[in-house]
Structures are given as structure tokens and as C-alpha cells.
Amino acid sequence: MSVPLHFVVKTRLVEVVEGLGEGAALPPERVLAKEFGVSRWTMRQAIRELIADGRLRARQGQGTFVATPKLVQPLALVSYTEALRAQGHTPAREVVDFDELAADAVLAEKLGIAEGEPVHRLERVLFADGQPIGLETTYLAVERFPTLKEVLDPTGSLYRCLTDQLGVRFGEGEELVETVIATPREAELLKATQSLPMLLLHRTSRDTTGRPIEAVRSLYRGDRVGFRATLRP
């Protein structure tokens, strides 16, 4: 048993998947388990890994289907909308929350303000071709952008609003990427199942004078999205 059974099943299941076209339906878990001669738990373990790898997609009450390839998002200070459109996809946003709160120590540090000062919080679900792929939460100091709530169309591009209407000039930024497991709330907003690995991206942007503009926390579905960075020596 040095190689777990569920991996053997996964390997054989990959061959089945490759024999099917994108979007094709797989037989039900219970049927597959019987065909492969394993328990449903083992079958689900194999399927879960193929879902995490982005090769399958499960829809409760409907079935499991062969997935389309992952999207690739640039790790760059560009508009989400433009980046996606450039790849031939249809972007969309949905506002979950747009309110104010008091900065905790970590957030205050990132935004260069004192703890307890008010910050805007804009939380939006990002879509590509009608499918939710990410949850983006942006924090900006109220002191620095007092008119944001009147000026910004929350369904539009924040980046455009800041540069075009508020005269902000983006300078350097720093991004951190890691994998995490989504909370139930996040999974629900992204229409994902529990315990799916996500890509968590933390960004802090500064203007050309080095002053902090925003702190962003973006959670992307690991089964649907990857990142691309262009490196300069």
C-alpha cells in the first residue's frame, strides 16, 4: 500500500477524463466507485484531487463534469477588467459590501495610518464568463480618499477611478501569493465546495512618492485560476 488506493484510482480516472470532451458529464460517484471496485470515500478522494487540479468540476444535484482549462491572471498593477478582456474572456463584478470600519494594527501599518482610523472596505466577487473566480477585498484610508463613496461606481474599475478621477499615480507595489483553504463564507460566495485550495494574494500599492494607496486581499479559486509574472533581471 505504498501508493494509496485513491491515487491509483485517480490515475485511472484521468484516462477516463481524457477520453471525454470539455464539459462532458462523468458517471455518478456511486457508479464509478462500483466500477472501480472501491468505496465511495476513496472515489471521492480521487475526484476531489482532480477538482483541485482543475480537471473536473462538481455541481451539487447535477453531477461531475470535465472542466475547462484554468485562466491566467497577470501579477501586475493593471485593471482586472482589461487583463481578462485581453484574453478573450468576459469580466464582471458583483459588490458584496462597501462600508467603513476601523483599522486594526496590521491594516493601519499597511496603509500608513493610525490604528482605529476609518478605512473604506470594498468587497467584490470577480467573474469570468459568468463564473465566479475570485473575491477581492480592498481597503483604502478614508482620510486620504474622503470622497470615494460619492465618486466611485462600485461595479466599475477602482483602478480607473483612482487614476482618472482622483489623480492617483501608481508607483511600486508588492504582492504575496500563498495557498489557503477557504472559509465556508468565502466558498459560498465563490460557489465553491469546502476545503478547495485557493490562491490568496495580498497586495499593497504605493503611489510614485511611496505613499500607500490601498491594501488588497484577493482570494482566487485555485481550480480555475493561475498567475503569470514577467521577470526583469
Partner DNA sequence: AAGTGGTCTAGACCACTCC
Partner DNA sequence: GAGTGGTCTAGACCACTTG
Q: DSSP class of residue 173?
A: E
The Cα–Cα gap between 42 and 28 comes to: 14
Does residue 131 interact with DNA by CB under 7 A?
Answer: no
| Calpha distance 225→94 (Å, rounded) | 18
Amino acid making up residue 59: R
Among 19, 60, 178, 179, interactor with DNA by CB under 7 A:
60
Residue from 58, 69, 89, 87 nearest 22 by CA:
69
Task: Verify binding: residue 73, DNA, rule CB under 7 A.
Answer: no
Q: Which is nearer to DNA, 34 or 149 (CB)?
A: 34
The least distance separating DNA from the CB of residue 19, rounded to whole angstroms, comes to: 17
Select from DNA, a second copy, none the partner in contact with residue 38, using the beta carbon and a kind-dependent cut-off of 5 to 8 Å: DNA
- Measure the CA–CA gap between 50 and 42, rounded to whole angstroms: 13
Between CA 168 and CA 207 the distance in angstroms is: 7
Which residues have a Cβ under 8 Å from the Cβ of 197 and sit 6 or more positions away?
A: 52, 179, 180, 181, 222, 223
Cell of 227: 498567475
Q: 8 or 16: whose CB is closer to a second copy?
A: 8
Give yes or no for residue 13 binding DNA (CB under 7 A): no
Count residues binding DNA (CB under 7 A): 27
Q: Please, what is the minimum distance in Å from the beta carbon of residue 181 to DNA? A: 11
Residues paired with residue 95 on neighbouring β-strands, in sequence order: 124
CB of 38 or CB of 119, closer to DNA: 38
Of 1 and 229, nearer to DNA (C-beta) is 1
Our CB check for DNA shows the closer of 38 and 162 to be 38
- 107/216 with CB nearer a second copy: 216
Q: Which of 191, 190, 194, 168 is nearest to 181 (CA)?
A: 194
The partner in contact with residue 92, picked from a second copy, DNA, none with C-beta cut-offs of 5 to 8 angstroms by kind, is none
Q: How far apart are CA 231 and CA 213, in angstroms?
A: 24
State the minimum distance, in angstroms, from the CB of residue 63 to DNA.
4
116 binds DNA (CB under 7 A): no
Which residues ranging from 186 to 205 are in contact with DNA (CB under 7 A)? Answer: 193-195
Residues making contact with DNA (CB under 7 A)? 1-2, 4-6, 26, 28-31, 38-42, 44-45, 58-64, 193-195
